[in-house]
Amino acid sequence: MSKLASPAPSAPQPARLINTLKSRYLQPNSSSLFYLSALVVNIGNYGFNLLLGRWLGPAAFSDLSLIITLFLGLTFVTTGLQQTAAKFAASYAGQNNAQGISNVRTWLMRRAWLVGGLCLLALTLGAPAWQAFFNTQSSILFVCLGLAIPFYFAQGIDRGILQGQTRFDRLSASYQAEMWSRLVVAFALVALGWGALGGGIGLALSILATWWVARAAGWHLPASVAPSADELSQYKRIIVAIAWAEIGLILINNSDVLLVKRFFEAEQAGYYAALSLIGRVVFFATSAASVTLFAQAAQRQARGEAHRPLLWRNLGLVSVISLVIVLACVIMPNFIVQVLFGEAYMAIAGLLWQYALATALFAASNIVINYQLALGHQRSAVLSLIAGVLQVVLISLFHASLDQVVLIQICLMSVLFIAVLGLESKSATR
């Protein structure tokens, strides 16, 4: 009877476990580097707002905060274009279809420059009217924003192409360029006495910087051809779904600041601008999760691979980060406000944990919504839009105090999270 060959000796169990952990969590890759880059960028952007809030004081900071909020408000166009580009770039990348990526990039880019040009005219020609409506000290801030908007829309598409191809290294570089140029220019101009206008110019020039870096998305793509009728139909369907979600996101994330600026005195609006900035650290800290989840889920769907574990992994990550930040706001609100904004803003300390909770609920909802959009599903996007519209309506009707404004958001975000989670659970059982 022949002797069976002995199997090759395997590594001891502890060694195998260590190797598994190292390969899964410690080896550098573009995704993990993007998380690290996003952390640096968010800290930089946060520092931009915090330091300018300290230097300018509540009244002047409310003007700059308004321009930043309008800029973020226009991200419903930029992010809509970026998410659409990312969705198709991810699907085409999963099929190794470079031609499809080139086609969708060109088709979206033409529309981005057109819409951007219209926004430029609306903001620059209407600057005096915007100044009167929002009670700002100068109209030039609106001109600065208007001149940068076409480039902002265009860079969103290239960021989406990079995101969809999971080229997170170059995507990270575009965010780094935006953050550092904004810090350097804005701080220099404010230090020279330009006030809120210096911050606005820094914001505008940072958009040009990120557009310049993100252009690399199209360098190695083939020449585009006109998309087919079927492709056009898919483009439009996804754009509509993403537009619903992004309009809802922008309304939820920014309408409160605009409405407070409209209905409250300048000092109260400045307090609220600081409150929203501190509370939104939850959203800033978890934003990288939705970016990577969207691209990875879309690619896995295109390849026929399992993708639901990505949702639960990212939702768990967001929940842990959010819980830590909310607890910190509960335990030491005075310390946080004192360190970040100073004694002049201590009136907002009592509201800090409540605003952070509302933002945490929205951040968790946004993870589920982005996952659904990556798969081409539209229903959660409609829920986001409904929540955003309701926030505008309710705050417009009920704004007796800042406490009331924050309470409205907690209630709405709780309902939104329960609704999108229930919708996802229902779709998973089909």
* Residue range 316-352, pLDDT digits in tens: 888 998 899 999 999 999 998 888 777 888 888 889 9
Compute how many other C-beta atoms are within 10 angstroms of the C-beta atom of residue 201.
Answer: 21
* Residue range 215-224, pLDDT digits in tens: 888 888 888 8
Counted domains in the chain: 1
Q: 223 lies in a domain? A: yes
Our CA dihedral for 280, 315, 331, 402, rounded to 10 degrees, sits at 40
What mean pLDDT is predicted for residues 86-94? 83
Longest Cα pair distance anywhere in the chain, in angstroms? 98
For residues 154 and 158, give the distance between their C-alpha atoms in angstroms, rounded to a whole number.
Answer: 7
- Residue 404: which pLDDT band, with cuts at 50, 70 and 90? very high
Residue 286 pLDDT > 80 = no
Kindly report the average pLDDT of the chain as a whole number. Answer: 81
Check residue 406 and give its pLDDT. Answer: 93
Q: 355 lies in a domain? A: yes
Check residue 212 and give its pLDDT. Answer: 94
Class of residue 61 by CB neighbours under 10 A (exposed 0-12, middle 13-18, buried 19+): buried
For residues 173 and 212, give the distance between their C-alpha atoms in angstroms, rounded to a whole number.
Answer: 11
Q: 385 lies in a domain? A: yes
For residues 354 and 349, give the distance between their C-alpha atoms in angstroms, rounded to a whole number.
Answer: 10
- State the DSSP string of 233-258: HHHHHHHHHHHHHHHHHHHHHHHHHH
- The H-assigned helical ranges of 192-280 are 196-214, 229-263, 266-279
> Is the pLDDT higher at 11 or at 92?
92
What mean pLDDT is predicted for residues 198-217? 89
pTM check: above 0.75: no
Class of residue 9 by CB neighbours under 10 A (exposed 0-12, middle 13-18, buried 19+): exposed
Residue 15 pLDDT > 60 = no
Check residue 354 and give its pLDDT. Answer: 93
Q: 81 lies in a domain? A: yes
Q: 263 lies in a domain? A: yes
- Residue 391: which pLDDT band, with cuts at 50, 70 and 90? very high
Q: 390 lies in a domain? A: yes
For the ranges 24-33, 73-82, 96-105, 186-195, the maximum mean pLDDT occurs at: 96-105
Q: 5 lies in a domain? A: no
> What are the phi and psi torsion angles at 72 (to 5°)?
-65, -35
What mean pLDDT is predicted for residues 373-401? 88
- Residue 158: which pLDDT band, with cuts at 50, 70 and 90? very high
Of the chain, the percentage scoring pLDDT greater than 90 comes to 21
Q: Determine the structural domain holding residue 106 and report its residue range.
A: 29-428
Q: 150 lies in a domain? A: yes
What mean pLDDT is predicted for residues 282-291? 75
Of the chain, the percentage scoring pLDDT greater than 70 comes to 90
Check residue 17 and give its pLDDT. Answer: 39
